[in-house]
Amino acid sequence: MLNDAAAFYESWPAEMNAAKAASPDLGKAFGPFFQTLMKEGALTVKQKELIALGIAVATRCESCIYTHTEKCVRHGATAPEVMEAAGVGVMMGGGPAYTYTPVVAAALRHLNASIGTP
């Protein structure tokens, strides 16, 4: 789990494209749903991504943690903000969610090395 950040970020686009090809209706339905809810509104995209990251930690969704950590960073979240959002997820998900905070930290390390993080 801890050393999988680079492998995830390398393989995820191709894996998602394969999933969309295998189930085009699902991809067509989910894309607009996601875009509608995650666009700028009363909350900024950065705030929405931090919320999504906290939920990803609480639900122990490793691929969600990787994707939303990256989106947080790309929308200007700092490493302390990302880790604080992960902490809120732990508050909601308890001990099992806490074991996923190293995934967040690994994602941040990878992103810092590849794109730089604030």
5, 110 Cβ separation under 8 angstroms: yes
CATH H-level, domain 43-118: superfamily: AhpD-like (1.20.1290.10)
Per-domain boundaries in the chain: 43-118
Walking along the chain (118 residues) 10 residues at a time, the average pLDDT comes out as 80 93 93 95 98 98 96 97 98 96 95 78
pLDDT of amino acid 113: 87
Q: What is the pLDDT of residue 2?
A: 52
Cα dihedral angle (101, 105, 111, 113), rounded to 10 degrees?
-160
- pTM of structure: 0.90
